[in-house]
Amino acid sequence: MTYNKIFENKQDFVEQYREACLARYGTPFEELPAQERYYALAELIATKGRAIFPESHPKDAKKVYYFSLEFLIGPLLDNYLINFGIRDMVADGIKSMGSSLEEICRQEVDPGLGNGGLGRLAACFLDSMAHEGIAGYGNGMRYRYGLFRQYIEGGRQVERTDNWLANGFPWETRKDGSSVLVRFGGQVVRHEEDGRFWFTQEGGDIVRAVPYDVPIVGFGGNVVNKLRLWSAEPYTEDFDLDAFNAGDYARANKFRSDVEAISTILYPNDAGEHGRMLRLKQEYLFVSAGLQTILRTYERDFGPDWEHLGDHVCVHTNDTHPAMCGPELMRLLVDEKGVDFDLAYKVAKETISFTNHTVMPEALEKWPINTFRALLPRLYMIVEEVDRRYRDSLANHLSPNDGNWTDVLSKTAILWDGQVRMANLSIIFSHSVNGVSALHTQILKDSVFHEFYELVPQRFNNKTNGVSHRRFLCEANPPYAKLITNAIGDGWLNDAMELEKLVPFEQDASFLEGMEAAKRADKERLAAYVKETSGVDLDCNMVFDVQVKRFHAYKRQLLNVFKVLDVYNRILADPNYSPRPTAFIFSGKAAQSYTFAKEVIRLINSVADVINNDERVNDKIRVAFVPNFAVSNAQLIYSAAEISEQISVAGAEASGTSNMKLMMNAAITLGTLDGSNVEISELVGPENIKIFGLHADEVEALRASGRYYAWDQYNADRDRLGRIVDMLTDGALARLSGNFDSIHDYLMVDNDPDLVLRDFHAYVQAWDELTGAYADRAAWNKAALHNTAKAGYFSSDRTIREYMADIWHI
Ligand code: 26Q
C-alpha cells in the first residue's frame, strides 16, 4: 500500500492536518467550522497527492482519451482516501480529534457536471481505467454552473442555479500554459501554388480554451490519470475600447460574456436539445481543444509520424456529443500538419471509436446545415467531402438495380434533409460502434442503425455497462462493505468477481443476520436524511422500495405511482388486504422544459402528501420524494434499498446503471426485460429477481399492429385501474396543487405511448408477490446476498477491460 508515502501513521496524519488548518485559516482545528475543516483536509490531500504522484505512464503507453460532455464525478475526498488506502487511518485520526470523517465529507460540493447515466458512466470509466493501470484521460467541459439544483415547492420541481465553484474546487489545477485557441466563424480561403492547393481560415472569433485538471487516482494509488476540463475565455483581454470610452460598458463587455457563455451552462435536457448554437459551440470547443492537445503531445513524443497516430492514441466518443472529433482531427492533420486527405481520413477512423446510449429518435443529434456551416465553415467542407465520398462508395457497394440505394442513403448519409446527422457522422468516422447492453446492441443492429450494420457488421459490438463497485458499494455502504471484507477478505476491491465468494454465505445464518443489521443501519441513515430534506418520516421496519433516476416517460415513474395508488385504494377498500408495509422512495430530476416529466414529479409529491397524511394507511405505506438527486445522496439511497424498481417499457432503456448499483447493495430487482435487466436476470436466475411485463419484441409488435387502445384497458378494469385514472382529474389528488389533466391526456388521448396501462396488472401482481416474499426474511436475505455475489460482472473494471481488448487494442 502507498499510504505510508502520504502519512507515516495516524499520529503523523493528525499533526499534518492540524498544521494544515493553521496554515490555511490561522485557526486551530477545534475552532474551525466543519466546512473549513473540509477545505483544509482537501487541500492537504491534494497537495500531498500532487507532490508524491507525478505523471505515471511511460511515453510509449497507448493513450485513451475519453471525450464526453459530461463527467458526473461526485464528491472526491472519500474516494481519494479509499484509493490511496488511507481511509480507515484518516477516519481514526479525525475521530481522535473529536470529529468524524463522515461529517467532514458531508461538506463537500457535488460537482453536477452531467445529467445522469451517461455522465456517471464516464466517471466510473475514469476510475476503472486508472485501476486497470492504463493511460486513460477524460476530456470534457468545466461548466461554470452544474446541472440545476432541484427543490420541491408546493409539490413542484423548482430549479435553482448550481454555483458549485462558489467556494473553490480544491481538486482542480488550472493550466494556463496548456491553453489552446479555437476559432468560430470566419471564412475559408483557398490557396494554390505549383498545382498544390490548401485552405486557411480567416476572420471569425477566436476563443481561448483553458484546461483545468483533476487527478484521477486508481485504487491502490499506483496510477494517477487526469480529467481535463476546458473553460472558454476571451483570447485577448482588451475589449471594445470605443464602446468603453463612450460609457457603453455592456457593449464593451459583450464579447467577453459571449465567449464565457460557452462554458457557463450544462444543457439539462438528457434527450437532446436541438439546433442550439451555444451547444454546438460547446461541442466544438472541447473537441478542438482536446484534439489539439493530443496532437501536440504526440508530436512531442513521436514526431510528425501522423500515419501511425492510431497505434498510440485512442479517441473514444461518448455518444454523438463529440462527433466533430472526426472532421476536426482531419482538419488539423490536413490543414495544419500537411497530411493528405485520404490518409487523414484513414487515420481518423483508426483512432476514433463511438458509443451510442439511446434508441430514442428524438435524442439523435442533428444540426441545420446552415447553422453548422456558418459556425464551422472549414469543418463543414470536410464533412461535405466525406459525405460525397461515402455516397460514391455506396454506389459501388450496392448494385444500382438493388432498388434500395436511396433507401440506404436516406438512412446513412451524413447530410440529409438540410441537416448534419451526428450519429451517422460518428459511425462513418469510427472503427468501432458499440451499444451499452446486449439487448440495446441488438436493437441498434436490427433497427436504429440497421443499414449501417448490413454494410459494416464487423464494426458493431456490445459493451455492457458497469459501475464502480468501489464507489457504489465500498464507499456508499460502509457497514455492508465491512461485513463482506470480514467474510471474504478485501480482494473484491481489486477484483469484483471475488464477490462470488459470498455464495457459500447464503447458507450462513449469522452472516445473513449481519447483513440484515447492516441494511438496518443504512436504512436509518437514509431515514434521517429523508426527514431532514423532505420532512417525511420513514419507518425503518418497512420495506424500502426505490426508484431513482432521471424522470422520463419511458422510465415509467408513472407506472410506479399507479401501483402506489392501487395499494392505497385496496387498503381503504378491503379490510382484509394487508400488504407488506412499504416505504416508496423516489428521486430524480426532470429537464426544465420537459413538462410531462415535471407533472409526474408533482403527482408523486401529491400522492405522498395524501398518503402520508392519511392515518388509516400510515402504518402500511409511506411515500417520499428525495429532492435534488445527485451522486452524493444517491450513495445514501442505493445502500438502503431493498427493492430496485427498473420498470421502463421494454426496448427503451439502453442499459440502465442504477439497476447495477442497487443490485450490488443487495436490493432485489423488480423490472421489465429491458436494457441490462436482461443480463442481471440471467446472472442471478429467476428465483432472485422479479420480472414482469411485455418483452421488447412484444412491445414492438403491439405498436406495429396498431391495435392497442388505452380505453380498453380502462374499461376492462373500472374498479382498480379505471379508478386510478379517474383520480388524476377528480380532485382526489388535487389538495396540494391541482389536478393532473395532462397526465390523463397522455394516457387516454395520446393512447398511452409507454404502455403504462398495459403493464399495470402484471406489475402490481409482481409487486404483491415480491413483497409477499419479504415475510421470510432469511429467504429474502439469501436472495439479496445472491444479488451482491453476482454483481461482480457489473463492475466497470470488467467493462473497461472489454473496451481495452476489443476496441482500444491495449
Ligand atoms: C444532446 C444534445 C443536446 C443537449 C443534450 C443532449 C443530451 C445530453 C445527455 C443527450 C443525451 C444525454 C444523456 C443520455 C443518457 O444518460 N443516456 C443513458 O446512458 C446510460 C449509460 O450508458 C444508460 O445506462 C441509460 O440507459 C441511458 O438512458
Catalytic annotation, pick one of 183, 331, 550, 622? 550
660 lines ligand 1 (CB under 6 A): no
Q: What is the pLDDT of residue 52?
A: 73
Q: What is the pLDDT of residue 2?
A: 45
796 alpha carbon to ligand 1 midpoint, in Å?
A: 18
Burial class (CB in 10 A: 0-12, 13-18, 19+), 244: middle
436 lines ligand 1 (CB under 6 A): yes
Q: Is the ipTM of this complex over 0.90?
A: yes
Cβ atoms of 210 and 233 closer than 8 Å: yes
Per-residue pLDDT of 427-450, as tens digits, reads: 999 999 999 999 999 999 999 999
118 alpha carbon to ligand 1 midpoint, in Å?
A: 5
Rg of the Cα atoms in the chain: 27
Residue with CA nearest ligand 1 atom 24: 656
Distance CA 350, CA 808 (A): 10
| Spans in the chain with pLDDT lower than 70 | 1-4, 53-55, 237-239, 399-403
Name 181's Cβ contacts closer than 8 Å, sequence gap at least 6. Answer: 206, 207, 208, 209, 235
Question: Considering Cα of 81, then 87, then 93, then 98, what sign does the dihedral take?
Answer: positive
Name 802's Cβ contacts closer than 8 Å, sequence gap at least 6. Answer: 463
- Please state, for a pLDDT cut of 90, what percent of the chain lies above it: 91
434 lines ligand 1 (CB under 6 A): no
Buried b (16+ CB within 10 A) or exposed e, 155-188: bebebeebebeeeebbbbeeeeebbbebbbebee
Q: What is the pLDDT of residue 734?
A: 96
Per-residue pLDDT of 286-330, as tens digits, reads: 999 999 999 999 999 999 999 999 999 999 999 999 999 999 999
What ligand 1 atom has the least distance to the C-alpha of 656?
24
Number of CB atoms found within 10 A of residue 613's CB: 10
320 alpha carbon to ligand 1 midpoint, in Å?
A: 10
Tell me the CA distances in angstroms from 673 to 16, 37, 446, one per residue in order.
Answer: 53, 47, 17
Task: Identify whether 555 is a catalytic site residue.
Answer: yes
Distance CA 131, CA 798 (A): 11
Residue 623 C-alpha cell reads as 411515500
644 alpha carbon to ligand 1 midpoint, in Å?
A: 21
Q: What is the pTM of this model?
A: 0.97
Catalytic annotation, pick one of 320, 355, 464, 657? 657
Catalytic annotation, pick one of 183, 555, 563, 786? 555
Task: Identify whether 657 is a catalytic site residue.
Answer: yes
- Report which residue type is found at 152: I
- Report which residue type is found at 224: V
If we measure between CA atoms, which residue out of 267, 156, 158, 259 comes closest to residue 209? 259
Average pLDDT, the chain: 96
797 lines ligand 1 (CB under 6 A): no
Helix (H) or strand (E) holding 278: helix 277-302
What does 671-698 look like in DSSP terms, one character per residue? E-S-TTHHHHHHHH-GGGSEE-S--HHH
570 alpha carbon to ligand 1 midpoint, in Å?
A: 38
270 lines ligand 1 (CB under 6 A): yes
Q: What is the 3-state secondary structure (H, E, C) of 519-551?
A: HHHHHHHHHHHHHHHHCCCCCCCCEEEEEECCC
Substitution candidate for ligand 1 out of 270, 277, 552, 659 with most atoms within 8 A of CB: 270
358 lines ligand 1 (CB under 6 A): yes
